[in-house]
A and B are shown apart, each in its own frame.
Chain A
Amino acid sequence: MCDDCGCGDSELVPVHVHEHLLADNDARAAHLREHFAEAGVLAINLMGSPGAGKTAVLEQTSRALAGRYRLGAVSGDLATDRDARRLEAAGIRARAITTGSACHLDARMVHDALHHLDWRDVDLFFIENVGNLVCPAIYDLGQAANVVALSVTEGEDKPIKYPVMFRKADLVLLTKIDLLPHLDVDLAAIRDGLARVMPEPRMIAVSGKTGAGIGEWIAWLEARRP
């Protein structure tokens, strides 16, 4: 209201927006999802803590699938392209997304990276997210499924401490199970925690080192191929 300068009266008008604040990202993700569907590519958003073993699982997956499926990947990293180079060395067509200080990938970054990668003729496409158990969970990247890698050394209570992430998981890969003989980890406690944060808890135990469980993981992927 203005009574003193002669500019005329004004009023407060409520404008109802009721819109998701990441609507722009969601629209780009929907566009990516259409691209993946048209090309018959199964896109997986692989998330997890730094050091959870995301890259190692993909290396082992590529070895196990050699000659059967073509694999592609983008790999998010704050400062280097080391993960993408490891994936390439393992036979995956890969491109690094160097995020600088950004703690997550968003749909624009993935879309831009796809312009530099021959991805349309791959069968499985992995979006290896930045190592982080919070931020990546809130950005849709056009994936068909979210997979969260959780290593046995991270602690049994990780699921209930990071419900934002585990709620979004379609599958949890329990990694580094070759270390179990050296640890006091109660797998039942991890399963219990997951059941309290994931409405449909699903966990596969794997080792990127020995290849244990990789067959079950591959069967899970194959069941989702378009």
Chain B
Amino acid sequence: MHEYSIVASLVDRVQREIDAHPGAVARRLHVRIGELAGVEIDLLRTAYDTFRARSACADAELAIERIATTWRCKACGRDLPAGAILRCCGRPATLATGDEIVLERVELEVPDV
């Protein structure tokens, strides 16, 4: 259940944005989670709903984008089919997408001055 510690990091990071924008309220968070990141999206949502109360995220909706796994051959540029042996052109494939645990952006409601 490391999803709780990820939410703790998320709330801290949003708090830093609030601190940098006095009077702002976080309304929406965009998070990208890869299939190979080891993060369960349902658990992440549950953890978020548990932790957000009275935090910088209390009024922020959590939008999660699931990123599919892509293994790619650096030599020929081909994406390997799912479940394939991770070799192509005589060398190891590299993970192009799928390990993201990223806070992409925060939408802040900022009072007009």
Q: Please give the residue numbers on chain A whose beta carbons come within 8 Å of chain B beta carbons, in ascending order.
A: 7-25, 101-104, 106, 134-135, 137-139, 160, 163-165, 167, 192, 195-200
Contacts and interface: CB of A to CB of B under 8 A. Distances in A.
Nearest to A135: B2
A11 B109 contact: yes
Contacts, number: 112
B84 interface: yes
B17 A138 contact: no
Contacts of B36: 163-164, 167
A7 B1 CA distance: 42
B12 A196 contact: no
Contacts of B24: 13
Given A9-B112, A11-B110, A17-B103, 10 more contacts: A10-B110, A13-B21, A14-B107, A14-B108, A17-B106, A135-B38, A163-B36, A167-B36, A199-B71, A199-B93
A137 B38 contact: yes
A12 B86 CA distance: 44
- What is the interface of chain B mostly: helix, strand, loop, or mixed? mixed
B97 interface: no
Contacts of A103: 1-2
A15 B28 CA distance: 10
Given A19-B13, A21-B10, A138-B37, A12 B108 contact: yes
A57 B6 CA distance: 32
- What is the interface of chain A mostly: helix, strand, loop, or mixed? mixed
B87 interface: yes
Name the interface size band of chain B.
35 or more
Contacts of B111: 7-8, 10
B61 to A, nearest CB: 12
Contacts of A163: 36
A15 B94 contact: no
A191 to B, nearest CB: 11
Contact of B86 (A22, A104, A197): A197
Contact of B94 (A8, A106, A134, A199): A199
Given A17-B104, A106-B5, A138-B39, A8 B13 contact: no
12 contacts: A13-B24, A13-B109, A17-B13, A17-B104, A21-B9, A21-B13, A21-B103, A24-B9, A104-B2, A138-B101, A199-B94, A200-B92
A22 B110 contact: no
A137 B67 CA distance: 18
Contacts of A17: 13, 17, 103-106
